[in-house]
Amino acid sequence: MDRVAALLLDWYDGHARSLPWRVRDGARPDPYRVWLSEVMLQQTTTAAVAPYFAKFTETWPTVEALAAAPEEEVMAAWAGLGYYSRARNLVKCAKQVVEMGGFPEAEAELRELPGLGDYTAAAIAAIAFGQRAVVIDANVERVVARLFAIEDPLPGARRLIRAHADRITPDERAGDFAQAMMDLGATICTARSASCLLCPVQGLCEGRASGDPLRLPVKAEKKAKPRRTGTAFWIAREDAVWLVTRPGKGMLGGMRALPDDDWSSKADGHGEPPVKGAWKAAGVVRHSFTHFDLELGVVVHAGDDPVALEGGEWWPLERLADAGLPTLFAKAAERVLAGR
């Protein structure tokens, strides 16, 4: 076994993080729980994922239960976790897995399932099924870049990083090795610090030998995000607010939300209000998406009770937390309610 793998696995046996989706002491991982956690962990921190994972596995303890769940309930339970296409693919994938009779074990077959890219498929193959797979997330990418002092800037360096990661991935215990690399990057070899004296592979690390491991991986300069503006409309009567369900495709697809001026499909939203009448400004909320920042003005209908509304539902204010609003619209609702 490669010396790096041997040292890391020995360290992992004594220092592995305790996470709700992990099993230890040779127990066989549940592919459903591995898959669910890995999908949730895409571009999301462990701390943010943990309570969602607990809620999902309590509500839908098996892939069969999730496949049978109404999509709107799954979307509502996902609210606040972000990247909502993951939730839509979650339901599609669960249904497909049930039709197949279970999760496939091979990395190539896993990659064909909805919502599973190279990383997620490799992680499930290695962790759930013990397959040898090269698992590279942001933590592993950083560890490998420092371990081998890879000077090429990202994203161009990723091919070289993968080649080095492939070289040190063992044939046995590939899942534990992948998790050891993740844990090392999350706890010792972090983006902001390198606790080299605690690192099990410090003696083999070329980045440490260079005297400045924190400069690695080298990152290309970030481009400024474009800014969009838009408007959300708060329409209330008695103790209920009007909510719509966003189209299944597109940003925040399939989620309940306040009606808006179609900011998500235009550089600046200019759609018409859903009803006529007087409107009063309630403030602005800001939210950052992957590819742009949004300033969303919130306006409150100040006229008579609206009657010409279609394509939505009146949602009781006392149960607004159960509507599963995405973070953006939850912020807008909080802004209005705080000013009442």
Instruction: Give me the number of domains the chain comprises.
Output: 2
CB-count exposure of residue 276 (10 Å: 0-12, 13-18, 19+): exposed
Q: Confidence band (pLDDT; 50, 70, 90) for 270?
A: low
Instruction: Say if 289 falls within a structural domain.
Output: yes
Last residue of a domain, one of 158, 193, 215: 215
CA pair distance 126, 134, nearest whole angstrom: 8
Give the chain's mean pLDDT. 93
pLDDT given at position 250: 83
Instruction: Say if 293 falls within a structural domain.
Output: yes
Nearest to 230 by CA among 298, 327, 302: 298
CA pair distance 161, 135, nearest whole angstrom: 11
pLDDT given at position 24: 78
pLDDT digits (tens, 9 = 90+) for 227-262: 999 999 999 988 899 999 998 888 888 889 999 998
Asked if 302 and 278 touch (Cβ cutoff 8 Å), the reply is yes
CB-count exposure of residue 89 (10 Å: 0-12, 13-18, 19+): middle
Mean pLDDT for 141-146 is 98
**Residue 216 pLDDT > 80, yes or no?**
yes
Q: What is the pTM of this model?
A: 0.83
The residue ranking higher by pLDDT, 304 or 224, is 224
Query: CATH no. for residue 22?
Result: 1.10.340.30
Query: What is the set of active-site residues?
Result: 38
122 plus 203 within the same structural domain: yes
206 plus 252 within the same structural domain: no
Strand runs (DSSP E) across the chain, as ranges? 227-234, 236-237, 240-245, 256-257, 279-288, 293-301, 312-316
Last residue of a domain, one of 215, 236, 258: 215
Which range of residues forms the domain containing residue 183? Answer: 3-215
